[in-house]
Structure 1
């Protein structure tokens, strides 16, 4: 078979949600390591680690253990989704029609679009704030517009440019992170009691595990979008481990930086903390992390657009959106995100914490259904052509079993929820510890498997 990596691709990606033709397949597993490693080294990842101390009141050691456990656990689900891309050659949310049916998938896809908008708005706020910190005459609002423009450019050109962005940022951001840790340790100097500050509390530990796990789970609805161009004969294990190692390592170390900032400096914010701890090199560090935000936001915007196009194609099955549709949808989406970022920046940390916890509740049942169906029910064999039929082809308009399990998953999570907006009775008994995502996974996975295996539909993908 000809090596597809030698086939030149157009600078502007033409396709959007259509199945990727074999003649266009290219890439190697290492490309997945760099895209997930490089895209995670940014300020929002640092903020997520910062929460383990500032919100959940853990010591440095316990916070580090919590985010490690969360990343290692959540990364498994993220990488299992990534391995689906080369086999099916379609975006993840298109493939969801194989579990929920053509119309049944609409609710899930719509929630994922909301997820993208929330993460992108959060990134825009941080990007704008970071540019303001390193150049005060530039307002935060102006910084938001600059980051938005950089994100939009990559989305317009598409898949290949985003991979190139991330490959470069893997080296640049990785070296910057290493220099930052070295500067804090040997130039700034750690406080002598840094390991004794704060302590352990079960609710905080489980909350920190949850936000780190969610960081990985949040990639599940679109991780295979960045592996779908790879040849179908590529090793699934190689795809899994490249995605897993890149995303876990790229997430864990920036989170450790956030934990270190919160532990060393009581009060204040992450941006000012970086300035204080890195001194003279802070403009370089913040600038590179801000560029990393633009890279990650391009990924979020790109996949959010694919999901929006998926919603449209559900009701217009003869429509085959191309580059123009992607560009126009990206322009409309980025305007919404800019508005949210500008008007929601004052209460950013509180809004972000509540957002990611609520997101966890709606993502977990979906990921359980998708993975059980792909690996245990259909064994990766789907009729891809049916994904693009109005009636869902062999998958129908609705799959009542999947919809039931999805709603069941959210329902069983409610008593175990613990957020600033609502705390369930089970979470109260547990001292405010949030284990809802574990409950959702443990219940939904076997229930869906038992309901689905007898009537599983298996067809060779087109």
Structure 2
């Protein structure tokens, strides 16, 4: 704890493995105790859903997402590498550059900016401080946590779990004064598309929110001992995420008829009345752990695509870019860039599906050899890259966003948002068709001697553990 984390994207050696899987609970609980989750619940009334429909949609969408999240976190324990590096397995060393750049670097910059804008606006309601100065101060704290890395982030999130639980209990009790449990189906709602279609689409909000975390799932589980139970990692990761998101998402649902008409911070202030300063402090504090994790993951992503910087320099670069985005978004955190981040969720689903299939069908049969392959630049591009692209293209046919409308977008009015399901199925089918096929010579070079030596060393390490 007295020095910054020395490791970056390399495999964590067994001598440095430590911790208990229950640390994944507090990590992901604190990461999801943020205003953005509650705000997502506000959309329930806009879709014309009843309270029961809204609550069940939150639970269903979240559950499906956290199970994927938990499985990927467990894989990190077995491989000992960040999720971004694992992507080299199915994608290839250079084929992995595109998804990591789009799905993790851009996402880390954007989500840190969105959350920090909320934090600055909340801070300004507590004290008279210029936006730029407040943003700089918040980024300084977030960056220190990310620079010190794994152990400090886990400690901060353990503390945040206790603090945020107390604060959000207060907010929940106060917010429930505006709850309308009798709210029924509203066919005149602005986004009404039918009960079933609206339910599916609203559930997709929460599924998508969790899925945007999946490219970072292994970043904080890779230090766990190699023999840690995969099931326990899945359970603690999924449990922490599920409880936090269902808690805040459900509060958003039951107050959506009131809060959905306001911007996020004014809505929270009105919900909590004279206790608004406590609510604003909660928003500020809740931003610190989640943004530190985004900055940390963003820095690992830069190293994964071979940007020639250290992990610490990577944190500073991602923080600087996110600060610039924060200043651009200060008057409209849920504007155009938020729409872009939502589109990224469609692209994440095929990526995570391919990663899961590649691990269970190929990598886990030879862990040592598979980890060595992750650092083999001769594996330029692999079939998983094309499976991911195919999944994204099929998904896009069903998008109905401000950025792009697919030719089958109108089906959402009957069946709900089909972009996630079709992307997952298409990428899975494409991977199953392609993954056993020989890789053409233009996509792969012969193993370099260093890789052969690395594979031998890893095999010895696995046999000793």
1:205-216 equivalences in 2 (<5 Å)? 205-216=199-210
Secondary structure of 1:340's counterpart equals helix
Gap runs ≥5 in structure 1? 1-8
Deviation at 1:70, TM superposition (A): 0.8
Instruction: Sort the Cα spacing of 1:46 and 1:145 in 2 relative to 1 into closer, same or farther, 3 A.
Output: farther
Secondary structure of 1:346's counterpart equals coil
Secondary structure of 1:84's counterpart equals helix
Partner of 1:64: 55
Distance 2:97 2:80 in 1: 20
Partner of 1:3: none
Query: Please, what TM-score do these two structures have when normalized by structure 2?
Result: 0.87
Instruction: Sort the Cα spacing of 1:89 and 1:265 in 2 relative to 1 into closer, same or farther, 3 A.
Output: closer
Deviation at 1:219, TM superposition (A): 1.2
Q: Report Cα offsets for 1:323-372 as digits up to 9, x if no partner.
A: xx222222222111111111123332233551233112211111111000
Partner of 1:38: 30
Deviation at 1:89, TM superposition (A): 0.7
Deviation at 1:52, TM superposition (A): 3.5
Instruction: Sort the Cα spacing of 1:208 and 1:146 in 2 relative to 1 into closer, same or farther, 3 A.
Output: farther
Deviation at 1:278, TM superposition (A): 1.4
Distance 1:141 1:329 in 2: 22
Partner of 2:442: none
2:118–2:283 CA contact under 8 A, matched in 1: no
Partner of 2:16: 24
Q: Report Cα offsets for 1:161-201 as digits up to 9, x if no partner.
A: 1001111111111122222222333xx45457545665754
Partner of 1:49: 41
Partner of 2:431: 448
Query: Please, what TM-score do these two structures have when normalized by structure 1?
Result: 0.88
Distance 2:181 2:429 in 1: 49
Q: Report Cα offsets for 1:62-103 as digits up to 9, x if no partner.
A: 222222111011111111110011111111111111111111
After TM superposition, the structure 1 stretch with the greater mean CA deviation from structure 2, 281-290 or 426-435, is 426-435
Distance 2:244 2:273 in 1: 24
2:208–2:346 CA contact under 8 A, matched in 1: no
Partner of 2:114: 122
Q: Of 357, 368, 371, which residue of structure 2 is paired with 1:372?
A: 357
Partner of 1:248: 242
Q: Of 160, 165, 168, which residue of structure 1 is paired with 2:151?
A: 160
Does 1:300 pair with 2:294? yes
Secondary structure of 1:312's counterpart equals coil
2:81–2:222 CA contact under 8 A, matched in 1: yes
1:413–1:439 CA contact under 8 A, matched in 2: yes
Partner of 1:78: 69
Distance 1:233 1:192 in 2: 47
After TM superposition, the structure 1 stretch with the greater mean CA deviation from structure 2, 274-283 or 407-416, is 274-283
Distance 1:142 1:192 in 2: 41
Partner of 1:278: 272
Partner of 1:388: 375
Deviation at 1:23, TM superposition (A): 1.0
Distance 2:334 2:359 in 1: 36
Deviation at 1:139, TM superposition (A): 3.3
After TM superposition, the structure 1 stretch with the greater mean CA deviation from structure 2, 193-202 or 412-421, is 193-202
Partner of 1:105: 96
Gap runs ≥5 in structure 2? 440-454, 460-465
Poorly superposed stretches of 4+, deviation over 6 Å: none
Partner of 1:184: 175
Deviation at 1:404, TM superposition (A): 1.8
Does 1:15 pair with 2:11? no
Partner of 1:358: 343
2:168–2:282 CA contact under 8 A, matched in 1: no
Distance 2:396 2:178 in 1: 44
Instruction: Sort the Cα spacing of 1:141 and 1:260 in 2 relative to 1 into closer, same or farther, 3 A.
Output: farther
> What is the total number of aligned residue pairs between the two structures?
435
1:214-363 equivalences in 2 (<5 Å)? 214-265=208-259, 267-312=261-306, 325-351=310-336, 353-363=338-348
Deviation at 1:441, TM superposition (A): 0.9
Q: Report Cα offsets for 1:16-70 as digits up to 9, x if no partner.
A: 111111111101011000100112111122222223434x443433222222111
Distance 1:192 1:259 in 2: 9
Deviation at 1:203, TM superposition (A): 4.1
Instruction: Sort the Cα spacing of 1:192 and 1:411 in 2 relative to 1 into closer, same or farther, 3 A.
Output: closer
Partner of 2:402: 420
Calculate the aligned-residue CA RMSD, in Å. 2.4
After TM superposition, the structure 1 stretch with the greater mean CA deviation from structure 2, 433-442 or 220-229, is 433-442
2:43–2:260 CA contact under 8 A, matched in 1: no
Instruction: Sort the Cα spacing of 1:355 and 1:255 in 2 relative to 1 into closer, same or farther, 3 A.
Output: farther
Q: Report Cα offsets for 1:365-397 as digits up to 9, x if no partner.
A: 111110001012333633223322332xxxx11
Secondary structure of 2:72's counterpart equals helix
Instruction: Sort the Cα spacing of 1:304 and 1:23 in 2 relative to 1 into closer, same or farther, 3 A.
Output: same
Secondary structure of 1:118's counterpart equals helix
1:43–1:290 CA contact under 8 A, matched in 2: no
